[in-house]
Chains A and B, each alone.
Chain A
Amino acid sequence: MRYCNNCNVSVVGKRKLCPLCQDRLIGDKPQEEVFPKISFVYREYSSFFKIMLLVSIIIATVSVAVNILIPESGAWSFLILGGLGSVWASLINLINQRKNIPKNIVYQVMTISVISLIWDLLTGWKGWSINYVIPSVCVFAMISMAIISKIRKLYIEDYILYIIIDALFGIVPIIFVIFGLLDVLYPSIICISTSIISLSTIIIFEEKSLIAEIKRRLHV
């Protein structure tokens, strides 16, 4: 065993220096290390993100600066800022939830819906967000969730909540229909029907799982 004269302790392992005082160890017969040596890992995508972030900031700054210098061209830089913000919001969601695909899908549906509503509102309400975007995102989410759960052989309790949330969200366009806010009806009608059908399927075939899930998630 190795020995530290300064600390008067024996040291297990093959190292040259004392772990307590960093003095040189003496003595022969070093033993095996007790713990495996685990090197530092340098996260591989962090520099990619740094570049992305810097590029976004440069685009934002330059466009705002140019916009201020030529004010007569209109407030177009806001569109660029909004666009960058939307991309980042979506991207952050995507990365945070990357391990839980059904949850990721629900979060994306929410983010895309909110962002499209805001865009529609700020660019002079033309109604494209509730006419097309929200219903089609909902339908797309429901279909992809159904396919993914089968392909990845997910267990019912891992995605039932998200299907339910998405289906309930998919029924919301009924409000737009009732209040006559829509110019184009067919995407919303498809979305509402799909939601009702998938909700019913779950209630009929997964009744017990659904009740159990509600009990678990809502226990006080």
Chain B
Amino acid sequence: MKNKRISEWSKLDNAAKIFPANSKKSDTKVFRFACELFDTVEPKVLQQALDITLEAFPLYLSVIKSGLFWHYFEKSHFKALVTEETLPPCSTLYDKNNKTLLFRVMYYRKRISFEVYHALADGAGALQFFRRLIFHYITIKYKYALRDKSPVLNIESSKTQRLDDSFKKYYKEEKILTKKKRIKAYKIKGAKIPEYRIRIIEGVIPVDEILPKVKENKTSLTIFLAAIFMCAINEEIPSRLKRKPVVLSIPVNLRNFYSSQTARNFFGVINVDYNFAEGSGDLEDVIEVLKKKFKENLKPEIMARRINKLSSLEHNYVLRVIPLAIKNLILRIAYAIADRSYTSTLSNVGIINMPDDIKPFIYSFDIFVSTDKIQACVNSFENILRISFTSAFVSTEIQRRFFKTLTDMGINVTIESNIIDEEQEVLL
């Protein structure tokens, strides 16, 4: 008789639980990491690199199934295959009626793209996977050029560390007494692109041109960009709606607060707000206010309280035995309520590091995320800072104002974007 293996399974981590209930065609909860090389991508080598990478990340071969009380990951028999990019960016990965792997690897000309369903990993977790994929691709493809060197990817984590559910690990039971009043944020409205497509507009900026401007304002890059983004949004608010504050939600990598190396989800969000009806609305003033708000929100004890608050729900026995169908409904309502408290999201993934021998083969990295509104993602590699806006709106005014502010400071900006409009004429 053939050897029957019982397929492995594991629970979704705390942050992941919200995603299956709230994924829809308009917001698939998929994000993309892309890497632009100097040469055309070779699919066969990419497949080899993917196979090697997957050995270190067994959870990536899972599908999400629904149990009576919770969703769970189950090891699947699907093969992960690299494909040419023919799908719109951030297309659905989780569909409860059509099980597929929760990530895909695609190539188009010089670009390798890696899309992940958010329940599987957050940005920092997926970056661990993507760095390895690129590392293996380059070491295989340029074996000859690298023959005298032996590049090593500094891997910080072990296989078990990567599978860690850090929310569970760092959860401490405590009574949460203070209930913060929720701010109702200004919500951007407007005509949307058909078929739930997203428009990607990215600004490629030399790091050495923007950093002096950041230093001039005595602040950090995240705050600097957040302030410009908020001002750009403000310009679009009709004056009768000005009394509502502009609120940016900023994902925070909790691995920086705890000694976790998980490749799964381990992030929190902080909301920072600015009321343009009350403040002067100058960039300097917005930066000053944001500096204060960041400082208040990023204290370790406040981050710990957030983890505990979220996890306490999961540890509540009464909530745990509610059937999944009802839980999904509750999670959708909770998400809708939370959604009212912020205008947009700005996510700074930070500096992406690659071994010195590998760097010469890479032009830049690119990160963006699905949305039914507008969102920004930032990353930098060597001297290239890339700010990627994804937007479901037809209008590009916010993006235009954002980059206009930068170019007015004398910073060189190069725009890359996808073609959405059928009528956009293309030169031959």
Contact = CB atoms under 8 A, between A and B. Distances in A.
Contacts of A204: none
B6 A209 contact: yes
B69 A220 contact: yes
A44 interface: no
A11 interface: yes
Interface in A28-54: 30, 32-41
B428 A14 contact: yes
Given A13-B416, A16-B424, A39-B422, A212 B195 contact: no
Interface in A87-132: 96-100
Contacts of A13: 416-417, 419
A10 B415 CA distance: 6
Nearest to B88: A38
A160 to B, nearest CB: 11
> Chain A interface secondary structure, helix, strand, loop or mixed?
loop
A30 B67 contact: no
B67 A40 contact: no
B399 interface: yes
A1 interface: yes
Contacts of A37: 418-419, 426
Contact of A33 (B7, B194, B399, B419): B419
Nearest to B413: A9
A146 to B, nearest CB: 18
Interface centre among A8, A17, A22 (most CB of B within 10 A): A8
B4 interface: yes
B65 interface: yes
Given A11-B415, A40-B194, A40-B195, A21 B400 contact: yes
B414 interface: yes
Contacts of A20: 201, 396, 399-400, 403, 415
Interface in B1-58: 4, 6-7, 9, 11, 36
A39 B109 CA distance: 18
A17 B424 contact: yes
Contacts of B414: 1, 9-12
A7 B77 CA distance: 50
Given A7-B400, A34-B111, A40-B195, 6 more contacts: A8-B404, A10-B415, A15-B419, A17-B424, A99-B97, A100-B98
29 contacts: A9-B407, A10-B415, A11-B414, A13-B416, A13-B419, A15-B426, A15-B427, A17-B425, A20-B396, A20-B399, A21-B396, A34-B111, A34-B416, A34-B417, A35-B85, A35-B200, A35-B417, A37-B418, A40-B422, A96-B97, A99-B98, A100-B97, A155-B7, A157-B7, A208-B6, A209-B6, A216-B9, A217-B67, A220-B70
Interface of A: 1, 4, 7-22, 30, 32-41, 96-100, 155-157, 208-209, 212, 216-220
